Amino acid sequence: MRLSVPAAISHGRVYRRLGLGPRSRLDLLRNLVTALVRHERIEAPWARADEMRGYAEKLIEYAKLGDTNERAMRMADFWLTEKDLIHKLFKVLAPRFQPHPGSYTRLLQIPNRDGLDRAKMAVIELKGNPFPPLIRPHRDSEKTLLNQLLKGYREDLQWAPKGTPV
């Protein structure tokens, strides 16, 4: 007995349903990708930023293939609606990410949106962007007991004459 899969069950489906349909979903993501390439750090609803991340990284991988590659040019032409960004993608972003093998973006969550919908927001940025960093890693304070003991040990190593055990 052959039962066709009802559309409501989504076992194993990886694409989220955004916008009005598959075309609209790609258009939405395309606008976000263009904005990311232009501003290098944008705020967007978390679901859209997450979908967009995969496409942005694939686009940079295509850009790494080079300017002369026909397929890469067609992809960049489709995905970037503002045509001056194609030049930026191939000449600025591709050399910047040439040494890295993958993961060119960073996705961080933000407090919920202020409007009525209280949507889960995220900020997505390209690594190596010129803005100040979003997370500042804190070093442990020097005044804790463990750090004071370690500091004392290091000083003893420095000042003890050579050969004597510390």
Partner 1 sequence: RVSSDGKPEKFQPPPKPVIIDKQKQREERRFLSPEFIPPRGRTDPLKFYIERKDMIQRRKVFNIPEFYVGHVLAVTTADPYANEKASRFVGICIQRGGKGLGATFVLRNVIEDQGVEMCYELYNPRIQAIEVLKLEKRLDDNLMYLRDALPEYSTFDVNMKPMSRLDHEEVPVNKLQVRMKPKPWSKRWERPKYNIKGIKFDLPEKKMKEAQKWSQPWLEFDMLREYDTSKIEDKIWKEVSEGLKN
Q: Alpha carbon of 56 to those of 19, 24, 94, 129: distances in Å?
A: 19, 17, 12, 15
For residues 70 to 109, the per-residue mask of contacts with partner 1, x marking binding by CB under 8 A and - elsewhere, is ----xx--xx------------------------------
Q: How many residues bind partner 1 (CB under 8 A)?
A: 15
* Closer to partner 1 by Cβ: residue 75 or 107: 75
Piece of 8-16, 34-42, 120-128, 133-141 that binds partner 1 (CB under 8 A): 8-16
- CA-based nearest residue to 51, from 31, 65, 75, 76: 31
Q: Are the beta carbons of 90 and 138 closer than 8 angstroms?
A: no
11 touches partner 1 by CB under 8 A? no
Strand partners, 43: 123
113 touches partner 1 by CB under 8 A? no
* Closer to partner 1 by Cβ: residue 70 or 117: 70
Site for partner 1 in 12-71 (CB under 8 A): 12, 14-15, 22-23, 26, 54-55, 58-59, 62
- CA-based nearest residue to 105, from 95, 115, 97: 97
Could you give the CA distance from residue 1 to residue 15 in angstroms, rounded to a whole number? Answer: 29
Query: Can you say whether the dihedral through the CA atoms of 75, 127, 119, 10 is positive or negative?
Result: positive
* Closer to partner 1 by Cβ: residue 54 or 128: 54
Q: Which residues bind partner 1 (CB under 8 A)?
A: 12, 14-15, 22-23, 26, 54-55, 58-59, 62, 74-75, 78-79
